[in-house]
Structure 1
Amino acid sequence: MVVQDETCGVNIAFSVVGSKWKPTIVWVLSQGARRFAELRREVGPVSEKVLASQLRELQRDGIVSRAERGGFPLHVEYSLTERGVALNEALEPVAEWAHRHGEHLVTARSYSTV
């Protein structure tokens, strides 16, 4: 995703998590390191291809780290970096806003013709 205005912090932040699965990935990893299969089960109905792509992008942005533990099959764990932990903390007020206003949004969207 391309940041349209690099001077706006909100645009920069949402360029990092502005996809369907990234906020959920960050939230799940905020609860502890996960292997790929565990992460896929907990995130929801995401394809392996999309999850792998989202994880690579989060790694690129310094939000998620990938650790290989060796063995056969290869044991790989994903976890949040310090930057990822800070991002998750920054998203908490957004989640609170959604909890307070979510019912209205669902109702409004169900009647919308836009």
Structure 2
Amino acid sequence: MQERNRGNLHGWCDLAAGLQTVSGQWKASILIVLSEKDSGLPDIQRRLEFASRRVLVRALRELEKDGLVSRSAHVATGYSLTRDGLALVPILRHLADWNAARAG
């Protein structure tokens, strides 16, 4: 019985860790913006006009650290989704659809 409970708890811990990865200001929105096209910070900031530059930079660094976003610094710094970030986008879209259906 204890082993089964540990397995269930582990599953919930994975859920909590996953939610923690995308929680926080603008992280989910950044992922959605980057799913539409790779972008530099000015483009992201233009799309998320109410987010401050400082908050966006912090969120992008955290997403990069978590392996969801990659940064390239060729001519100008650009951001793109990693394979894990791309895999997460449909989940975020389903969550948004679910929430819209509840409100409707």
TM class by smaller structure: 0.7 to 0.9
C-alpha RMSD of the superposition: 1.5
Higher relative contact order (CA 8 A, sep 6+): 2
TM-score normalised over the length of structure 1: 0.77
Name structure 2 gaps, 5 residues minimum.
1-8
Q: Is 1:61 matched up with 2:62?
A: no
Within 1, Cα distance between the matches of 2:15 and 2:37? Answer: 26
The residue number in structure 2 matching 1:92 is 93
| Structure 1 stretches of at least 4 aligned residues deviating more than 4 Å after TM superposition | none
* One-letter identity of the residue aligned with 1:68: A
Within 2, Cα distance between the matches of 1:62 and 1:35? Answer: 17
Greater helix percent: which structure?
2
Aligned residues: 95
* One-letter identity of the residue aligned with 1:12: A
Aligned mate of 2:22, from 17, 20, 34 = 17
Name structure 1 gaps, 5 residues minimum.
104-114
What is the CA-CA distance between 1:19 and the residue it aligns to?
A: 1.3
Within 2, Cα distance between the matches of 1:102 and 1:26? Answer: 23
